[in-house]
Amino acid sequence: MTAQLLLQPDSGLELHPDWWRGAVIYQIYPRSFQDSNGDGIGDLRGIMERLPYIASLGVDVIWISPFFTSPMKDFGYDVSDYCDVDPMFGTLSDFDALMATAHRLGIKVLIDLVLSHSSDQHPWFKESRSSRDNPRANWYVWADAKPDGTPPNNWLSIFGGSAWAWDATRLQYYQHNFLSSQPDLNFHEPQVQEELLNVARFWLERGVNGFRLDTINFYVHDYELRDNPPLPPERRNASIAPAVNPYNHQEHIYDKNRPENLEFLRRFRAVLDTYDAAAVGEVGDAQRGLEILGEYTSGGDKVQMCYAFEFLAADPPSAARFAAVLRHVEHVAPEGWACWAFSNHDVMRHITRWNLSPAAARVYTTLMMCLRGSVCLYQGEELGLQEADLHFDDLQDPYGKQFWPEYKGRDGCRTPMVWLQDNQNGGFSHGKPWLPVAREHLNLAVDAQERAPDALLHHYRRAISFRRAHRALMRGSIGKLHVSGDVLSFHREEAGEELFCAFNLSHEPASLYLPEGTWVTVGQELNSSGSGEDGIVHLGPWQPCLVVKR
């Protein structure tokens, strides 16, 4: 398939006011996507060069992880200038050229806004820490020590240790949910909220179609700085922080997830609506992720989409697990809109995490494209890239260095994209890549898979195309969830179209009865099974059944 074949109208998505609903979003981690100047670090011009490939996948939107000016202590998630491009990634002119190219190819652009915290090198923080009475003194979360000199409360950092760091100039602690070089902004200060809304306006004026909002539930802290209660061991979940991190020992009801956050999200949505833009929020909470998703996407006055971590967890989702999550979403987010992901830049790649065979990888992909909600794909998952196994000396991620070797950090999912099989750097860079290219990835390179008709890359294209061809999958309701052994089934309906979707999530064959009615098999290109005698469907291992009602 060539890029030219997909430069066609996008089956009505462009004209629909809720263009984000049901969209397939492709996440780009810019450091590792394509290097255009040989310095070993991916950049904006590199992304622009590869946009025809992205268009060939049939996706609707790209999400670009942070490229703003930054000291790179957390690889761009520590911003020192929200309204400029870090020189390692290029210039604002490069960004404008990327935007123009993406839009010409029919691809919308979301950029990653990190609003909960900045870098300690941001001019706002430098001024804030200079005294207790400067104009920005209250722009960050400052607090006095307890009488014994210890931190104000028991809040912990996701990156380990206390969430408080001592500042010798102000003689106070400041809060940091992440690295100590990432101080948290104070959303109780009206000027902070207004300045962050101005940041959003700056990029919307440049034509972006919206934002991925990093750690959206971390914005507001408890004004009274109350201690978090302990979390019983049976409720601990390592989907947000590794099990070796004591962050999992607390119920995080005061350092994040505050109800005051909803009013800021309403203000943010009002800005989005002015530009017909959309946002997807990252909900980082192991216990209440779906409930928060429901709160933040309800009512049409907050963000349009959120994704939680239910399918970013370590255990492969069984039929029963999928059904439980989908039913819970129906209960806590009946008005809301989920955005599903199996992999991203913060978790082990799902091919490795779930130990998937090629057949299993295909059926999970097909299943994801049939879920109600939007979809986020992470660069390289369409190639079936495994988690790269790096030596300690190659690590760049401070999170991995902190908890090595029990937790190896996030570098294994951030190694460079592989474009060329017969190139030691996979066609990513002419220089030494910032992270080594995994040798085992080279045989999965784009050019090798383009030549192989049965490659996973082509399955992703077919699955995305199938989703876009059925309005019931893009925007329809989901119902009649059923689990029989390892088989998950449900109905999708919209505007007179009804699909029955069933998936055998097992290496054993299975059978099921089609619902009453006349059904026609679709999705044969996705290995869909048709019905046999008396409406019985025989599913092979890891096989779907996709039928539409006549």
pLDDT, tens digit, 9 for 90 and up, residues 317-359: 999 999 999 999 999 999 899 999 999 999 999 999 999 999 9
Q: Which of 13-17, 189-193, 451-455 has the lowest average pLDDT? A: 13-17
Q: Is 434 left (phi over 0), alpha (psi -120 to 50) or beta?
A: alpha
Q: Which has the closest alpha carbon to 44: 58, 56, 55, 29?
A: 29
CB distance 116 to 185 below 8 Å? yes
Six-digit token pair at 476? 């329809």
The per-residue pLDDT for 401 is: 80
As a whole number of angstroms, the distance between CA 143 and CA 137 comes to 12
The per-residue pLDDT for 3 is: 36
Average pLDDT over residues 54-66: 98
- Give the model confidence (pLDDT) of 269-328 as tens digits: 999 999 999 999 999 898 899 999 999 999 999 999 999 889 998 888 999 999 999 999
CB distance 176 to 165 below 8 Å? yes
The per-residue pLDDT for 11 is: 37
Name the residue with tokens 């040989």. 38
CB distance 111 to 214 below 8 Å? no
**Residue 241 above 70 pLDDT?**
no
The per-residue pLDDT for 313 is: 87
**Residue 491 above 60 pLDDT?**
yes
**Residue 181 above 60 pLDDT?**
yes
**Residue 430 above 80 pLDDT?**
yes
The per-residue pLDDT for 96 is: 98
Backbone dihedral angles phi then psi of residue 106, each to the nearest 5 degrees: 80, 20
As a whole number of angstroms, the distance between CA 291 and CA 342 comes to 19
As a whole number of angstroms, the distance between CA 99 and CA 44 comes to 10
Q: Write down the architecture of domain 3-117+190-409+450-467 according to CATH.
A: Alpha-Beta Barrel (3.20)
**Residue 418 above 90 pLDDT?**
yes
Six-digit token pair at 480? 């009649």
Six-digit token pair at 90? 């290029």
Average pLDDT over residues 14-31: 89
CB distance 544 to 504 below 8 Å? yes
Q: Looking at 60, 167, 184, 214, which residue is catalytic?
A: 214
Backbone dihedral angles phi then psi of residue 547, each to the nearest 5 degrees: -135, 150
Partners of residue 109 on adjacent β-strands: 62
Six-digit token pair at 437? 């290219």
DSSP string, 224-244: T-PPPPB--GGG--TTSS-TT
Q: Which of 3-7, 199-203, 475-479, 515-519 has the lowest average pLDDT? A: 3-7
Q: What is the pTM of this model?
A: 0.94
Sorted by sequence, the CB contacts under 8 Å of residue 192 that are 6+ apart come out as 139, 185, 186
Average pLDDT over residues 87-97: 98
CB distance 287 to 450 below 8 Å? no
As a whole number of angstroms, the distance between CA 322 and CA 483 comes to 9
CB distance 271 to 197 below 8 Å? yes
CB distance 50 to 33 below 8 Å? yes
- pLDDT confidence band for 7 (50 / 70 / 90): very low
CB distance 54 to 62 below 8 Å? yes
- pLDDT confidence band for 245 (50 / 70 / 90): confident
**Residue 5 above 50 pLDDT?**
no
The per-residue pLDDT for 397 is: 82
Q: How many CB atoms lie within 10 A of CB 392?
A: 11
Spell out the SS3 assignment of 336-368.
Answer: CCEEEECCCCCCCCHHHHCCCCHHHHHHHHHHH
- pLDDT confidence band for 395 (50 / 70 / 90): confident
Is 144 a catalytic site residue? no
As a whole number of angstroms, the distance between CA 325 and CA 291 comes to 11
Q: Can you give the C-alpha Rg of the chain in angstroms?
A: 23
Q: Tell me if residue 284 falls in helix, strand or coil.
A: coil
As a whole number of angstroms, the distance between CA 442 and CA 425 comes to 9
DSSP state of 496: T
Sorted by sequence, the CB contacts under 8 Å of residue 136 that are 6+ apart come out as 124, 127, 128, 191
Residue 179's alpha-carbon distances to 73, 77, 318, 453, in angstroms, are 8, 10, 35, 45
Is 533 a catalytic site residue? no
Say if domain 477-549 classifies as CATH 2.60.40.1180. Answer: yes
**Residue 451 above 80 pLDDT?**
yes
The per-residue pLDDT for 4 is: 33
In 475-549, the DSSP E strands lie at: 477-484, 487-494, 497-504, 510-513, 519-521, 536-539, 544-549
Six-digit token pair at 22? 């049901």
User: How far is C-alpha 546 from the geometric centre of its chain's CA atoms?
Assistant: 27
The per-residue pLDDT for 532 is: 67
Q: Where in the chain is the domain with CATH 3.20.20.80?
A: 3-117+190-409+450-467
Residue 461's alpha-carbon distances to 13, 341, 367, 369, 449, in angstroms, are 17, 17, 14, 11, 12
User: How far is C-alpha 218 from the geometric centre of its chain's CA atoms?
Assistant: 16
Run of H or E including 84: strand 81-85
**Residue 169 above 70 pLDDT?**
yes
Sorted by sequence, the CB contacts under 8 Å of residue 538 that are 6+ apart come out as 509, 510, 511, 529, 532
**Residue 6 above 70 pLDDT?**
no
- pLDDT confidence band for 239 (50 / 70 / 90): low
Q: What percent of the chain has pLDDT over 70?
A: 96
The per-residue pLDDT for 370 is: 98
Q: Tell me if residue 206 falls in helix, strand or coil.
A: coil
Q: Which has the closest alpha carbon to 155: 243, 251, 242?
A: 251
CB distance 461 to 446 below 8 Å? no
Average pLDDT over residues 533-542: 90
Calculate the average pLDDT of the chain.
94
Six-digit token pair at 181? 């070089």
Q: Where in the chain is the domain with CATH 2.60.40.1180?
A: 477-549
In 141-198, the DSSP E strands lie at: 142-143, 164-167, 172-175
N-terminal to C-terminal alpha carbon distance within the chain:
31
> Within 13 Å of residue 366, how many CA atoms lie on the same side as its CB?
29
The per-residue pLDDT for 531 is: 67
**Residue 176 above 50 pLDDT?**
yes
